[in-house]
A and B are shown apart, each in its own frame.
Chain A
Amino acid sequence: MTTEAAIRVQGIQKSFKDLHVLRGVDFDVAAGTIFALLGSNGAGKTTLVRILSTLAKADAGTATVHGLDVAANPGEVREAISLTGQFAAVDEVLTGRENLMLIARLRHLKNPGAIADELLDRFSLTEAGGRKAATYSGGMRRRLDIAMSLIGNPPIIFLDEPTTGLDPQARIEVWQTVKKLADAGTTVLLTTQYLDEAEQLADRIAILHKGTIIQNGTLSELKQLLPAATVEYVEKQPTLEEVFLTLVGDTGETDTDDADRADSAAKAGKESR
């Protein structure tokens, strides 16, 4: 692992007509780390991710991903990244296994079937692999979505609000997946509006507010800056979650490798909604 920045964002600006969404954003993400971009709805998180993943062009500033300028070399950047957008980008008509094979084929890899089976196993979806993705629970769909992003082992992964709309068990499953990714050396940039999510996952956290980064640091650095009221909210949230998980039976945490358990967790997730 190098200390060189996997993602470097300098002075990025973006406007939609009169709306200045990004007003000069700067930050670096070190390779192999998890970087959380924290911000409320409409803060510009998704716009920034879209620029970094070559889906949108910045009005000003430069961004390099994996040492490549996103504006000048979008094609090469796409070889190095994977995007998991805000809405699970799975093909609902295809089965889980077919979804994975589709992406493997589009990445021009050999043995798409073997790649699909390996990922189904890794994400506890082996049993559900032959079913249409439309029948999946929110958590399973998100796991499939992330699994699709891992095909071809891109060194950098963007996760745009990966747990929005998920129930607590599914959220924990996603968190575990993200942690495993970073352990394996993948650089992860994730956006979230949940403070506890950034707290759980991120090596560094940047707060995007009104189009600029107003703070950027490790959790302990930031904790000293946050107003007391916010800290209280963060501490209360896990307590309620603990109660909830105890009441419904915490199945998400331990057995990510067991398809049966994951399925029942997904079912429990459905019922809890």
Chain B
Amino acid sequence: MTTHVLSDTRVLTGRSLTHILRSPDTIITTAVTPIALMLLFVYVLGGAINTGSDESYINYMLPGILLITIASGIAYTAYRLFLDLQGGIFERFQSMPIARSSVLWAHVLTSVVANLVSVAIVIGVALIMGFRTGASVGAWLAVAGILAMFTLALTWLAVVAGLSAKTVDGASAFSYPLIFLPFISSAFVPTDTMPAPVAWFAENQPVTSIVNSTRALFAGEPVGSEIWVALAWLVGILVVAYVWAMSIYRRKIS
């Protein structure tokens, strides 16, 4: 039956992508909040923020905004998975001769596609607002890779939430702390302006290294050792979330 993994995943991914195409509001609402935050920070607060660099403020804060976009977008993955479980179609799939992992992978791949579209919309708005980058094709690919890994890692966390939630609200509520995490990082203000304990947290949480690496890539500067810290966080979260999600899934279907 494992021979069907790819074709089953493809069919089921097509199904959830159709869901998104039929309710594009899930992509738009994902993009609206980060865009509003971007407007607020650039045109209201940004003038008073000293980032200590020559970069325009929008160049400084875009990486954090992109992470917020993804953190809010993955809530829809938990939501869609939860609805499948509620509605009985999940059980129908489980009682059919299809590769069992495809049911989850379809949601995960859909999440990656949907979030990259949301991210592209936000970058588009940022360009209109004056975001400029001299990043090479290679740097762009590296940024896309980092964002895709961030999406994958958080999506598997969303799978955990979707599989174990008892209510629709519970399925999406887990993303709120994730959305908030970039605020206590180097995403909007340099960490050295924060009180010591907060600065310590900000400097040692995953968002800061991811934001700094992305910012360096956009600016065409060397990423330094920060990229390895970022990758370690991304791979670590991804592996833990994947193993956690799969163990819940196995318990659920056996």
* A contact set with B: CB distance below 8 Å: 53-55, 57, 75, 78-79, 81-83, 85-94, 98, 102-103, 105-108, 132, 148
Contact = CB atoms under 8 A, between A and B. Distances in A.
B15 A83 contact: no
Contact of B95 (A82, A86, A108): A82
Given A86-B88, A88-B88, A90-B89, A55 B94 contact: yes
Pick the 5 closest A-B CB pairs, nearest first.
Answer: A89-B88, A89-B92, A83-B95, A87-B88, A78-B97
Contacts of B89: 89-91
B4 A108 contact: yes
Contacts of A93: 18-19, 22-23
A83 B8 CA distance: 19
Interface of B is mostly: helix
Contacts of B4: 108
B93 interface: yes
Contact of A91 (B15, B95, B96, B253): B15
Contacts of B23: 93
A75 B1 contact: yes
A94 B96 contact: no
B155 to A, nearest CB: 20
B7 interface: yes
A212 B94 CA distance: 27
Nearest to B102: A106
A72 to B, nearest CB: 14
A85 B18 contact: no
A59 B203 CA distance: 51
Contacts of B253: 55
B12 interface: yes
A85 B88 contact: yes
Contacts of B96: 78, 82, 103, 106-107
With a 10 A CB-CB cut-off, give which of A83, A93, A148 has the most chain B CB atoms: A93
A57 B254 CA distance: 7
B94 A106 contact: no
Given A93-B18, A106-B8, A79 B88 contact: no
A75 B253 CA distance: 13
B91 interface: yes
Contacts of B92: 83, 85, 89, 103, 148
